[in-house]
Amino acid sequence: MSQSVLEINKNDLSPEGVSRFESALGPIAVYELDGAYYATQDGCTHARASLSEGEILDGELIECPVHGGTFHIPSGRAVGFPCKTPLRTYKVSDAGATLRIDLECEAAAACVRGETHVHGA
């Protein structure tokens, strides 16, 4: 398998909806939202924090466990204070029992890098 693809077993996903995996690029957060799969960088872009320890809100937002900022999971867009820089997203392919995460390719819905979007600021 190429270094640029991380293959994970679906059985290793947490029932909480977000799980952390190590990759060649560092930790990755993998999400299952109502049967669809997504992946982003695990580290919060605001301050040191592991998003896989956070909670999924409103079905498609990940809330950072440290300061409560939020990101839109499919696009990586920064949604809630204090997050400003979007998350790096990764393309996920469903291969039945496993998921293949392409570390070189953003998700189809990825927001334009550098976009900032802060609600309620």
Partner 1 sequence: MTARMADFHTSWIEAPKLERLMDLENGRMSRLVFQHGGLYEQELERIFARCWLFVAHDSQIPKAGDYITTYMGQDNVIIVRQKDGSVKGFLNSCPHRGNKVCFADAGNARQFICNYHGWSFAIDGRLKGMHASEAFDSTGFDPAGHGLHPVAQIDSYRGLIFATLDPHAPPLAEYLGDMRYYLDAVFDMDGEGTEFVGGCVKSVIRCNWKLAAENFVGDALHAGWTHDSGARAMVGEGVGELHKNPQQSYQVNFNGHGWEFNQDIIGNCASLGDKELVKYLYALQPHVAGRLDEFRSRMIGSISSCTLFPNTSFLPGQNTFRTWHPRGPQEIEVHIWTFVNKSAPPDIKERWRKGSMLTFSPSGVFEMDDGENWEYATRTNEGYLTRQQDLYIGLGGNTRVYDTGLPGNVHQGQVNEANQRAFYQRWLDLMGSASWAEVPQRDVPAEASV
Q: Mark the segment that binds partner 1 (CB under 8 A) among 23-31, 41-49, 91-99, 106-114.
A: 41-49
CA distances from 34 to 4, 51, 102 (A): 27, 19, 21
Which of 11, 15, 48, 120 is in the footprint of partner 1 by CB under 8 A?
Answer: 48
Residue written as token pair 């909670």: 55
Q: Is 27 in the site for partner 1 (CB under 8 A)?
A: no
Q: Can you tell me whether residue 10 is helix, strand or coil?
A: helix
Return the number of the residue (27 or 82) whose C-beta is nearest partner 1: 82
Picking from 37, 24, 18, the residue whose alpha carbon sits closest to that of residue 109 is 37
Residues forming contacts to partner 1 in the complex (CB under 8 A) are 46-49, 55, 65-68, 82
